[in-house]
Amino acid sequence: MKEDAEYLTIARITRPRGNKGEVAADDLVGKMRFFEPGSAVQVVLPSRARLQLEIERAWQHRGRLILKFAGFGSIPDAECLRLAEVQVKRDSLEPLPEGEYYFEDLVGCALVDDATGREVGSIAEVYEPPGGVLLLSVVDEERKEMLVPFANEICTEVDIESKRVIARLPDGMEDLKA
């Protein structure tokens, strides 16, 4: 098994925050239990180097996850974590309830139009903007992007094993590609 496949990315660090070594991050799982003080996580730097770090503190601030790692006490310490991914081992995770998925597992899935059976594109990224609407960024063969709401009425079937999401796309949605 590829090493990256053993891990699930739970957050993406965006930048240093404050002057005590904290970092701002995008929470990709929406569950603060992954960020409990004392928890050990893997941090994958943009160079793909891995660090084993301990979470000292974690909290939400203005819709952003703030993390403080043990041993990181200054802006320069935190700067080295810019654009890094925070990961945990998959085998340490509880199974998700029926109908729930980790964002990372949706990335790379083909989006298939339910009406035609045609592959519309592949899911390149998953967003959860404020307001609770989950969107899938789908990129087709021409590298055009389309945002598709991840709602039961639209995404009618998700098969992570087969890497496919069957969607009932509203009329005209494909014309909105950017």
52 phi and psi angles, rounded to 5 deg: -95, 115
Query: pLDDT tens-digit profile of 4-55?
Result: 678 889 999 999 998 999 999 998 877 788 899 999 999 999 999 999 999 9
Distances (CA, A) of 118 to 61, 106, 141: 42, 18, 13
Instruction: Select from 49, 67, 92 the last residue of a domain.
Output: 92
Please tell me the total count of domains within the chain.
2
Among the candidates 92, 126, 157, a domain finishes at 92
In a domain, 113, yes or no: yes
Same domain, 124 and 74: no
Same domain, 77 and 109: no
- Residue 98 included in any domain: no
pTM: 0.70
Question: Is there a single domain that holds both residue 13 and residue 57?
Answer: yes
pLDDT tens-digit map of 57-98: 999 998 889 999 999 999 999 999 999 999 999 888 777 888
Domain CATH code at residue 109: 2.30.30.240
pLDDT exceeds cutoff 70 at 176: no
* Sheet hosting strand 119-127, strand order edge to edge: 145-149, 135-139, 119-127, 110-113, 164-167, 155-159
**Which amino acid is located at 143 in the chain?**
R
pLDDT digits (tens, 9 = 90+) for 134-171: 666 777 677 778 888 888 888 999 999 999 999 998 77
